[in-house]
Amino acid sequence: MTCQQIIELLEQHSPTEYAESWDNVGLLAGRREKEVHKVMAALDATDAVIRQAVKAGADMLLTHHPLLFLAKKSVTTDDMEGLRLIRLIQNDISCYAMHTNFDVCGMAEMTEQKLGLKGAEILEVTRCLENGTQIGLGRIGELPSEMTLEELAEYVKQQFDLDHVRISGDRKAVIRRAAVCGGSGKSVVDSALKAGADVLISGDFGHHTVLDAQAEGLCMIDAGHFGTEKMFVPYIVQYLTEKCTDVEIVAANERSPFTVI
Residue 45 has pLDDT above 90, yes or no: yes
Mean pLDDT of the region 30-50 = 98
Is 90 exceeded by the pLDDT of residue 205? yes
Averaged over 56-71, what is the pLDDT?
96
Residue-wise pLDDT tens digits, 14-35: 999 999 999 999 999 999 999 9
- The stretch 164-175 carries a mean pLDDT of 98
- pLDDT at position 163 is 95
pLDDT beyond 90 at 241: yes
Q: Per-residue pLDDT for 90 more than 90?
A: yes
Residue 238 clears pLDDT 90, i.e. is over it:
yes
Per the prediction, the chain carries an average pLDDT of 97
Query: pLDDT band at 71, cuts 50/70/90?
Result: confident
Query: Mean pLDDT across the stretch 112-139?
Result: 96
- pLDDT confidence tier of residue 208, bands split at 50, 70 and 90: very high
Does the pLDDT of residue 210 top 90, yes or no?
yes
SS (H, E, C) the chain: CEHHHHHHHHHHHCCHHHCCCCCCCEEEECCCCCECCEEEEECCCCHHHHHHHHHHCCCEEEECCCCCCCCCCCCCCCCHHHHHHHHHHHCCCEEEECCHHHHHHHHHHHHHHHHCCEEEEEEEEEEECCCCCEEEEEEEEEEEEEEEHHHHHHHHHHHCCCCCCEEECCCCCEEEEEEEEEEECHHHHHHHHHCCCCEEEEECCCHHHHHHHHHCCCEEEECCHHHHHCCHHHHHHHHHHHHCCCCEEEECCCCCCCCCC
* pLDDT tier, 94 (very low <50, low <70, confident <90, very high otherwise): very high
User: Which pLDDT belongs to residue 80?
Assistant: 94
